[in-house]
């Protein structure tokens, strides 16, 4: 699920694992706009020290997925309607391109995997487990996009998901 959030060239260090976990949480809508992000809470939740969390949060701030306030606290940014529309338009264009490429290269194995993920998402929606449904939605999209093997476009889509997806929360 969105494993390519960090380049494949980077070693799988603790901070990379923490970064991936936080990025996936943001992309899957696990955090609310305006929610404070505390290093201690994430370190405890992820079973690590504060240092890799600090490094991951610093990167997410640089990517504008999180915001550092003047009082040094970190929050999930709020979104304006205009910014949401802009991010959505760009994301739809890039995602459409990757989906078209992926469809041309689709294998029976890919189609099975997508169908299984879609079925899992539907089950979660039927059970009112919207957090899990969003996680399956993320997995579905990035399984499709990664199958296109477009290493230039995929990181752009990931960045757009980081900046927009948390505003697609069900609850």
Work out how many domains the chain is built from and give that number. 2
Domain match, 33 and 105 both: no
Domain match, 107 and 134 both: yes
Could you list the residue range(s) of the whole structural domain that residue 113 is in? 81-168
What tens digit of pLDDT does each residue of 106-128 get? 999 999 999 999 999 999 999 99
Domain match, 71 and 87 both: no
Q: Is the pLDDT of residue 5 over 50?
A: no
What tens digit of pLDDT does each residue of 127-154 get? 999 888 988 998 999 999 999 999 899 8
- Phi then psi dihedrals of residue 21, to 5 deg: -65, -45
Domain match, 46 and 114 both: no
Question: So what's the pLDDT on residue 11?
Answer: 60
Domain match, 48 and 7 both: yes
- Better-predicted residue by pLDDT, 29 or 154: 154
What tens digit of pLDDT does each residue of 49-61 get? 889 999 999 999 9
Sheet with 74-75: strands ordered across: 36-37, 74-75, 67-68
Q: Is the pLDDT of residue 28 over 60?
A: yes
Domain match, 40 and 114 both: no
Domain match, 147 and 86 both: yes
Domain match, 69 and 12 both: yes
Question: So what's the pLDDT on residue 41?
Answer: 86
DSSP 146-159: HHT--TTHHHHHHH
Q: Return d(Cα 42, Cα 45) in angstroms, integer.
A: 5
Of 28, 57, 75, the position where a domain reaches its end is 75
Domain match, 60 and 92 both: no
* Pairing mode of beta strands 74-75, 36-37: antiparallel
According to DSSP, the residues that pair with 67 across neighbouring strands are: 75
Domain match, 55 and 20 both: yes
Percent of the chain with pLDDT over 90: 43
Look at phi and psi of residue 75 and say left if phi exceeds 0, alpha if psi is from -120 to 50, else beta: beta
| Under 8 Å between Cβ of 68 and 76 | no
pTM of the model: 0.70
Rg (CA), the chain: 16
Q: Which helix (H) or strand (E) holds 87?
A: helix 81-105
Of 56, 75, 94, the position where a domain reaches its end is 75
Domain match, 63 and 115 both: no
Give the model's confidence band at 170: pLDDT under 50 very low, under 70 low, under 90 confident, else very high: very low
Of 18, 42, 75, the position where a domain reaches its end is 75
- Residue 93: which CATH number? 1.20.120.530
């Amino acid at each position: 699920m969105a494993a390519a959030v960090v380049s494949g060239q980077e070693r799988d260090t603790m901070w990379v694992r923490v970064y991936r976990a936080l990025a996936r949480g943001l992309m899957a809508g696990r955090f609310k706009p305006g929610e404070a992000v505390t290093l201690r809470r994430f370190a405890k939740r992820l079973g690590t020290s504060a240092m890799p969390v600090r490094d991951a949060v610093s990167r997410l701030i640089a990517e504008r997925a999180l915001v550092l306030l003047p009082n040094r606290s970190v929050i999930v940014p709020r979104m304006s309607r205009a910014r949401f529309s802009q991010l959505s338009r760009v994301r739809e264009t890039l995602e459409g391109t990757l989906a078209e490429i992926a469809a041309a290269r689709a294998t029976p194995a890919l189609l099975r995997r997508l169908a299984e993920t879609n079925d899992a998402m539907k089950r979660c929606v039927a059970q009112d487990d919207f957090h899990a449904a969003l996680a399956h939605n993320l997995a579905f999209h990035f399984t499709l996009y990664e199958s296109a093997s477009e290493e230039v476009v995929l990181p752009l889509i990931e960045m757009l998901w980081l900046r927009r997806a948390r505003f697609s929360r069900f609850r």
